[in-house]
Amino acid sequence: MTKNHLKRINAPKTWPINRKEHKFTTRPNAGGMIMELGLPVNLILKKMVNKSTTTKESRNILKNHEVLVNGKKVWDFRKQVNFLDIISFPELNENYTLILTKKSRLALLPLDEKESSTRIVKIVNKTKIKKDRIQLNCLDGTNLIVKKDDYKTGQSLLIEIKTNKITGKLDLSKGSRVFLFKGRYIGNIGIIKNIRGEDIEFEFENDDKNKGKVFKTRKDFSIALPEKMILGDKK
């Protein structure tokens, strides 16, 4: 039987909530990623953008106004917004993406209109399906079908929000900029210096204190980023 509630004390540590404020909080519906890498729309409306104060108000907002996640209207207050998903409020011209801070907390990063037109997903698996087509299985639960096998596991894909089409790809390779979303160095951006098996060796980007030092983490904990994309930390 599916649980519809979640005790705050048992909520993921990445959630930016006061665990002693109330006993329960909103449990998100299954949303592709694990709960540690996502938040229900209800919590985002109440705790992060201050659009509502109660779940009833959140429901009314979703019913009477446009709230979009990756370009699609959201009706369910339990809908999970995943890491690097884009949540938009068209009537207010506000756009955000969900990131992780260096303190291992989920936070919203404001985006301008151009930045919010594209989202990033990471390929974690590939499956061959009928008619020799390839299904790309992504970290956030997105599945994309392509005709040619021109993609590799570990690559990041740039997806246009309006058309859901792939507009670019980024390799997880030597010299790549990566955002670290798990592990000891969560919330940091690094430059890959070497890849050894399932691990990457990297330097922190724009970090004079650790300049020249090389650190190591798992490839699975990183996602390749475009050169100009900034995922600023929120304290």
Domain locations along the chain:
5-111, 117-170, 177-225
Second CATH level (architecture) for the domain 117-170: Beta Barrel (2.40)
Q: Max CA-CA distance within the chain? A: 54
pTM of the entire structure?
A: 0.89
What's the CATH fold of domain 177-225? SH3 type barrels. (2.30.30)
What's the CATH fold of domain 5-111? 3.10.290
User: For residue 214, is pLDDT > 70?
Assistant: yes
Tens-place pLDDT, residues 16-49: 877 777 788 888 887 678 899 999 999 999 999 9
Domains 5-111 and 117-170 share a fold: no
User: For residue 86, is pLDDT > 70?
Assistant: yes
- Enter the DSSP assignment of 44: I
The Cα-based distances of 125 to 13, 98, 128, 133, 156 in angstroms read 27, 23, 10, 14, 12
Tens-place pLDDT, residues 177-194: 999 999 999 999 999 999
